[in-house]
Amino acid sequence: MFHDRARIHVQAGRGGDGGLSFRREKHVPKGGPDGGDGGPGGDVVFVAAPDLRDLSAFRPNQRFKAERGGSGRGALKHGATGEDTELRVPVGTQVLDDSGQLLADLAHPGARVVVARGGAPGRGNKRFATPTRQAPRFAETGLPGEELSLDLRLKLLADAALVGFPNAGKSSLLRRISNAKPKVADYPFTTIAPVLGTVDSPEGRQLTVADVPGLIEGASEGVGLGHEFLAHLERARLLLHVVDVSEDVPQRFAAINRELEQYGAHLDELPQIVVLNKADLVPEQPVFDVDDDRVLRVYAVSCATGAGIDELKRGLFDLCPAAPPPVAEDGALVDFLVYRPRPRRERSYRIFRTDRGFRVEGTPPDEAELEAALRAAGARTGSEVEVGEETFELA
Ligand SMILES: Nc1nc2c(ncn2[C@@H]2O[C@H](COP(=O)(O)OP(=O)(O)OP(=O)(O)O)[C@@H](O)[C@H]2O)c(=O)[nH]1
Ligand SMILES: [Mg+2]
C-alpha cells in the first residue's frame, strides 16, 4: 500500500520549572536564593527525507511528544533543554492543521519546519530577588508545549507525470526511459501506487517522472483508482500523455483531458507531450494531428521495440519547463512554500511554586483551565493555591 495521507497528534515539551532553593553553606545560616531557571521544552519538527517513499511509517492518530525541559535546581543549576522530536516525512509532504489550513510544505530534501513549539521555561527564585525581597520563597513554573492535530498529505514532486488509460503503456515507458522498474502487465490497473523514476540525459541532466495509476472516464468523480492519485499530478510541470495507437486515439486523448479538467487544480492547463505508444502494432507510422495549445509535441514510439524512445527522451529534456529555483529572491532557501506561523501564545497569567504550594498572578483563565494548568505544573489535590488575596486548596 502507498500511504499519501496521515493524521497525527503532536505535543511539544513542557518548559521546565524554575528552581526554588536557598544557598546552604557551612557557617552561612541563611544563604541567598539560588534556584536556577528551567530549560525550554523540546519542539516537534518535521524533516523532509529523500529516502522515504510515503507516509506509511505513521499509524492512524499516532501521538508524538517532545521532551520536557529540565527543572532548575539549587546552586543556580539550569534545567536541561528538552530534546526536539524529529519526524521524518517524504519530500512533498504538506502539513495542514485541523481546520485545513496549510502550515508547511516540505518541498525540498532536508527542509525542516517546527510545527509545535516547546513551552517556555519558568524562572528560578534567584531571579525574583530584589533589595526589599531578599529571600523569594517562590519560583515560576514552565509553560505547556504547543499541542495540535495535523493532517499530512503527500503530493509527489516530479518534473513530469505520465497520464493515460490503463494499459496504454505508461509503466512500460517509465521502464524504458528511467531507472525505475514498475510492474508491467496486460491487464488494467497494474500500477496501483505512484512510482517515481529518474531520467538521465546524455549531458548529465536529470528529471524525475511519476507513473500514477491509469485514468478512466469518471476518474475525477471516483471511478477506478486514478482519482485518488490525481493530487500527485498537481506539482508536475509537464504531462506525458500516453495513448495506445491501436485504440481510437482522438477519443481516448479527449477523455483523459476531460478528467483532468474536471479534477481541477489546473491539471488541464499543464503542457503535454503526446506519446503515441505501441507503434509496432500498426502498419503505418502513427500520426495524430491535434489542435490543442497544450500539446507541445507528438511522438510515436514503441516501448516493445524501443523505436522512437531516444527522440522522446530528448524532447522531454527540451520541453520540460525548468524547475522553480529553490532560493527566493532575497536569497533565502525556500524550505517550504507556505508556512503561517501561529502567534506565540501570550502569557496572561503565571504560576509560581511557593514553599507552601502555588501562587497565580495575572488574569487567570476559567476555573477548569486554571486547574489543568496547576496540575500540569505539579499541583495535586490538597495543594495550597494563592490567587490574589485568596488562598484555597485544590479539590
Ligand atoms: N505491442 C506492444 N505492447 C506494449 C507496448 N507498450 C506496452 N505494451 C504492453 O501493454 C500492456 C500494458 O502495459 P503497462 O506498461 O503495464 O501499461 P500501463 O499504462 O502502465 O497500465 P496500468 O498500470 O494498468 O495503468 C503490457 O502487456 C505491455 O507489455 C508496445 O509498445 N507495444
Ligand atoms: Mg502501469
Quick: pLDDT tens for 5-29. 999 999 999 999 999 999 887 776 6
52 burial type by CB count under 10 A (0-12 exposed, 13-18 middle, 19+ buried): middle
Going through 136-237 in order, the beta strands assigned E by DSSP cover 138-140, 147-154, 160-163, 195-200, 206-211
Note the ligand closest to the C-alpha atom of 190.
Answer: 1
Proximal ligand: closest to the CA of 276: 1
State the average pLDDT over residues 290-313: 96
Closest CA to 149 of 95, 105, 186: 95
The band of 226, judged by pLDDT with boundaries at 50, 70 and 90, is low
Of 65-74, 155-164, 275-284, 307-316, give the lowest mean pLDDT range: 155-164
CA–CA distances in Å: residue 294 to residues 94, 201, 269: 28, 24, 7
Ligand nearest to the CA of 225: 1
Q: Whose CA is nearest to atom 1 of ligand 1?
A: 278
pLDDT band per the 50, 70, 90 thresholds, residue 326: low
Tell me if 245 CB under 6 Å of ligand 1. Answer: no
Q: β-pairing, 238-244 with 160-163?
A: parallel
Distance from Cα 209 to the centre of ligand 2, integer Å: 13
Q: Which residue has the cell 496549510?
A: 102
Cell 521495440 belongs to: 305
CB within 8 A of 358, min separation 6: which ones? 141, 351, 352, 374, 377, 379, 383, 384, 385, 386
Indicate if ligand 1 lies below 6 Å from the C-beta of 85. Answer: no
Measured in Å, residue 1 CA sits from the centre of ligand 2 at 15
Find out whether the beta carbon of 192 lies less than 6 Å from any atom of ligand 1: no
Nearest residue (by CA) to ligand 1, atom 21, is 167
Phi, psi of 143 (to 5 degrees): -100, 150
Q: Cite the beta strand spans of the chain per DSSP E.
A: 5-11, 44-49, 62-65, 85-90, 93-97, 102-106, 112-116, 138-140, 147-154, 160-163, 195-200, 206-211, 238-244, 272-277, 295-300, 349-354, 357-362, 384-387, 390-393
Sign of CA dihedral 228, 326, 197, 51: negative
- pLDDT band at residue 331 under the 50/70/90 scheme: low
d(CA 173, CA 277): 9
Largest CA distance in the chain: 107
The response to whether residue 286 sits with its C-beta less than 6 Å from ligand 1 reads no
**Nearest-atom index, ligand 1, CA of 184:** 16
Q: What is the mean pLDDT of residues 171-198?
A: 92
Q: Are 145 and 116 in contact (CB under 8 A)?
A: yes
Neighbours of 293 (CB within 10 A): 8
Judge contact between 74 and 21, C-beta under 8 A: yes
What single-letter amino acid sits at 379? A
- How much distance in Å is there from the Cα of 134 to the middle of ligand 2? 76
Q: What's the full length of the chain, in residues?
A: 395
Instruction: Give tens-digit pLDDT for 119-146.
Output: 999 999 999 998 888 889 999 999 999 9
- Give me the residues paired with residue 104 across strands: 95
**What's the CA gap between 183 and 175, in Å, rounded?**
9
Taking alpha carbons only, the member of 306, 308, 317, 271 closest to residue 287 is 308
Measured in Å, how far apart are the chain's first and last C-alpha atoms? Answer: 51
Residue 1, burial from CB neighbour count under 10 angstroms (0-12, 13-18, 19+): exposed
Say what the pLDDT of residue 370 is: 86
pLDDT over 70 at 244, yes or no: yes
pTM, to two decimals: 0.78
Per-residue confidence (pLDDT) for residue 338, from 0 to 100: 46
Residue-level pLDDT at 19: 95
Candidate of 165, 172, 189, 276 to mutate for ligand 1, largest count of ligand atoms within 8 Å of Cβ: 172
Does pLDDT of 235 surpass 90? no
